[in-house]
Amino acid sequence: MKNRIPVVLLACGSFNPITNMHLRLFEVARDHLHQTGMYQVIEGIISPVNDNYGKKDLVPSHHRVTMARLALKTSDWIRVDSWESEQAQWMETVKVLRHHQNQLLRSATQMEGLDPGKAPSDRAAAPELKLLCGADVLKSFQTPNLWKDAHIQEIVEKFGLVCVSRAGHDPKRYILSSPILCKYQHNIQLAREPVLNEISATYVRRALGQGQSVKYLLPDAVIAYIKNHGLYMTDNSQKGRSTQGN
């Protein structure tokens, strides 16, 4: 274990709302990285996107951050970080990575400062920050004007990518069709979720709007929060509510 490279996984996205599928991404990615024998995952960070992202149906970030926090209450290694959501503007994913990299470097130097007697070789290596994503993100790299090439390059060159694929996606293909991803494919880890898992937040919002049960698709604490704050309720959804169970 000692020689393993410490890794921090960062997931960016709407988390509107967070579902069990988002949480599974972390578990599957960590298992995969540990399986390689090269890495030790020490932390996972969920960074809900800023309200100015302008996506349709996006509920205010304080709700999305709170829901993620509730969902992560039972996790001993994943936490939510509200920095991205608190910025005045939407920001590119690469800038969020830079911010967290700086945070990690800062806390690493602080730890060294506390222990000046340590020889440089004994120092714990600064953890590597990697972007955790689903195969859909890898695919979205090909969408014109969605990502800047320079940013894609920085993500795979300076940081690295851990991509968890769902059934039906062929992440290898997306890599091979992109010269940048090809060049840095040693920095791209492909993990596979063994169970089909398609709990998209879009589906969850639709089911909530229709007054249908979403239990066991997201943590109970998140469902209770959604109900208490009347989130994702469309006007005509009220009709079906009285017949709905928990």
Partner 1 sequence: MDKVEKTEVVLLACGSFNPITNMHLRLFELAKDYMDGTGKYRVIKGIISPVGDAYKKKGLIPAHHRVIMAELATKTSCWVEVDTWESLQKEWVETVKVLRHHQEKLEAGHYNQQQNSPVQEKPGRKRKWTEQRQNSTQKKPPEPNPKGVPKVKLLCGADMLESFGVPSLWKSEDVTHIVADYGLICVTRAGSNAQKFIYESDVLWQHQGNIHLVTEWISNDISSTKIRRALRRGQSIRYLVPDLVQDYIQKHDLYSTESEDRNLGVTLAPLQRNTGEAES
Find out whether 105 and 89 touch, Cβ atoms under 8 Å: no
- Cα–Cα distance, 113 to 68 (Å, whole number): 33
> Smallest distance from the beta carbon of 57 to partner 1, in angstroms?
18
- Give the nearer residue to partner 1 in terms of CB position, either 32 or 100: 32
> Smallest distance from the beta carbon of 35 to partner 1, in angstroms?
8
Q: What is the DSSP letter of 74?
A: G
Q: What is the DSSP letter of 158?
A: I
Q: Which residues bind partner 1 (CB under 8 A)?
A: 20, 23-24, 27-28, 30-31, 74-75, 167, 194-200, 203, 212-213, 215-217, 220, 241-246
> Smallest distance from the beta carbon of 159 to partner 1, in angstroms?
23
Q: What is the DSSP letter of 159?
A: I
Burial class (CB in 10 A: 0-12, 13-18, 19+), 82: middle
- Give the nearer residue to partner 1 in terms of CB position, either 103 or 212: 212
Q: List alpha helices for 39-131, DSSP H.
A: 61-71, 83-86, 93-114
- Give the nearer residue to partner 1 in terms of CB position, either 75 or 140: 75
> Smallest distance from the beta carbon of 142 to partner 1, in angstroms?
24
Find out whether 47 and 21 touch, Cβ atoms under 8 Å: no
- Cα–Cα distance, 30 to 138 (Å, whole number): 18
- Give the nearer residue to partner 1 in terms of CB position, either 181 or 191: 191
- Give the nearer residue to partner 1 in terms of CB position, either 121 or 243: 243
Coil, strand or helix: which one is 206? Answer: helix
> Smallest distance from the beta carbon of 21 to partner 1, in angstroms?
8
- What are residue 10's DSSP bridge partners? 45, 131
